[in-house]
Amino acid sequence: MATIEFEDTLKPIHLDHLKGQSPEFIRIHNHFSTQLLSQGQQCSVLISRAAEAPEHTLLQLYSAMLYLYDMTTTSFSTVRVSTHKILEKKGLTNYEKALANAVLATANNQFSRAINLFEAITQQFPQDLISFKFCEYLYFICGYDFCKTRFLNHSARLASLHASNPYLLASHAFAQSLNKAFTQSEQTALKAIDIEPVNPWAHHALAHVYLMQGKIDKGLSDLESFAPLWRKSAWTALCHNSWHLGLFMIANLKLQQAEDLCMRQLWDGMQEHQFVHIDFDVISLLWRLELAGHTVNPSLFALFRDHLTDHINHFVCPYQTAHYIYALVKAGEIELADNLVIQAEKESERMQPQEQQTWRLALVFLKGVNAFVNEDYHLAASYLESSIADINRYGGSDGQIDLFYQTYLYCLIKTQQTQKASQILLHRLKENGLERRPYPLEMYWNSLL
C-alpha cells in the first residue's frame, strides 16, 4: 500500500484510492497534494505532467480541477469535453469514476451536486485531501457562509484523521471561524502555524478571526508579521492575504497605505498572472477604499477595460459578476455592465434548479450594485434592501460579502435614511455574539449620519 509523508513531523497517510498506481505517479500525486493544500508555488507542475501523459486518468482529472479554478467559459468548456472522454473509458476504478463525475458536475455549473459528490469521495477515501481542498473552492462558489456548517463538518471529519497535517488544520481553522467558533479557530490556526510557519491559509484563518471580532490592531500587526512568508507561496495566496491586510488598513482609515499595498502587491499579481481570484481582490479593495471616503484614481479602472472583457462572460457565482459590474462602470463601460446584468438573467434560465434559484435571487442584488456604481443611491438602496437577506448565497466568505453590507449602508447614508443606517451600525457592534467598540472606519460612517 502506498504511503506519503507530507513532512518529517507528519504521520504517514495510506492512499487507498491510489491502489495499482505506479510509484512515479504516487510521487507526483504526493507533491501535487502538498502543493495544493499549502497553496505552494508549484501546482502547475501537475499540468505539465498531465500534458506528458494524456492517457493517465488521474493526471488528467487533477489537471482539470486546476483549470476549473480559473472560473472562465473556456476553462469550463475544455474540462467538460475532456471529462466526458474520461467517463467513456472502460475499466475506471470506483475512485476515478467518482472523481470524474464530481469534476464534470463542477464544469456543468452544478455546484451543489458537485459538493455532494466530493463530500462522498472523502467519506469513502478520507485520505484524498485533493478532493477536500477542491470542495472548499466549491463552498466559496456557493457561499462560504451559506455552506459553513457543511464545510465545518467536512473539515472536522478529516482533521480527526489528519491531526498533524498543518494545511488541513488551516482549512479546519477557517471553517471554525466561519461558524463563529473564534477561540477554537485561533487555537487550530496557531497549532497549524506551529507545525509549519509558511502556512498562508492558517494566517488567513486568523485574519478572519480578528476581522469578525473587530480586533483591527491585532489583525494588522499579525498579518504584517506574516507577510514576508507569503512570498514563498502561490501568487493567489500572497494577493488574497495582502487583501486581508488591506482590510485592516482600511478599517483603521490608513487609506493611502491600503491603496499603496493594492498597487504594490495585488495589481502586479493581477497583471502578471491573469487569475480571476486576484481580480476580485483588486476590485474589492478599490471599492472599499471608495466606501471609506478615499478618492481612487479613475485611470486605474481604465486599465481594467481590456483585462476584464476576457473574463466577464462566465457566470459562476454572483459575487464574481458583482465585482465585474463595479469595475466595468468605473472603467466607463456602462453599456457593457448593463448587458452583463441582462446576460446573467438569460444564463440563469439554463441553470440547474438550485443554482437557478440562487441567481434569480441575485438578479435584484446585481441591479442594486449597478445602480450604486452609477450613483443612483435611492434605486440601489431599494434593490439592496430587498436582496440583502440572501447575500450569503452569492459566493464568497463572510469577510468578502461584508463589502455588500457596507455598500448598502453607504447608500442609506447617501439617501439620508439615518435610522436604518444607525441600526446597521449598531448591529455591526453586536454581531457574532460580541459587543465591541466601533473601529475608525465605522466611526467615519457614523459621522456622516
Query: Mean per-residue pLDDT for 386-394?
Result: 95
CA torsion, points 39, 116, 95, 87, in degrees to nearest 10? -100
pLDDT: is 350 or 271 the higher one?
Answer: 350
CA-closest candidate to residue 385, choices 371, 373, 397:
371
The answer, yes or no, to whether residue 17 has pLDDT greater than 90, is no
The answer, yes or no, to whether residue 4 has pLDDT greater than 70, is no
The per-residue pLDDT for 424 is: 96
Write out pLDDT tens, residues 229-287. Answer: 999 999 899 999 999 999 999 999 999 999 999 888 766 656 665 667 788 898 999 99
Task: Give the CATH number of domain 1-142; options: 1.10.3470, 3.30.200, 1.10.760, 1.25.40.
Answer: 1.25.40
**Grid cell of 449 as nine digits:** 449620519
The per-residue pLDDT for 314 is: 81
Calculate the alpha carbon distances from 393 to 2, 274, 388 in Å: 40, 26, 10
Name the β-bridge partners of 13: 4
Write out pLDDT tens, residues 273-325. Answer: 566 778 889 899 999 999 999 998 877 787 777 777 767 778 899 999 999 99
Distance (Å, rounded) from C-alpha 21 to C-alpha 7?
A: 22
The per-residue pLDDT for 208 is: 97
Write out pLDDT tens, residues 100-117. Answer: 999 999 999 999 999 999
pLDDT band at 70 (very low <50, low <70, confident <90, very high): confident
Contacts of residue 274, Cβ cutoff 8 Å, sequence gap at least 6: 307
pLDDT band at 143 (very low <50, low <70, confident <90, very high): very high
The per-residue pLDDT for 278 is: 80
The answer, yes or no, to whether residue 6 has pLDDT greater than 60, is no
The per-residue pLDDT for 8 is: 31
CA-closest candidate to residue 168, choices 61, 10, 16:
10
Distance (Å, rounded) from C-alpha 370 to C-alpha 391?
A: 16
CA torsion, points 349, 350, 351, 357, in degrees to nearest 10? 10
In the predicted model, what is the mean pLDDT of the chain? 91
Query: Mean per-residue pLDDT for 57-80?
Result: 93
The answer, yes or no, to whether residue 15 has pLDDT greater than 90, is no
The answer, yes or no, to whether residue 432 has pLDDT greater than 90, is no
Write out pLDDT tens, residues 181-230. Answer: 999 999 999 999 999 999 999 999 999 999 999 999 999 999 999 999 99
Is the CB of residue 95 less than 8 Å from the CB of residue 17? yes
The per-residue pLDDT for 16 is: 78
Least confident of 47-56, 198-207, 366-375: 47-56
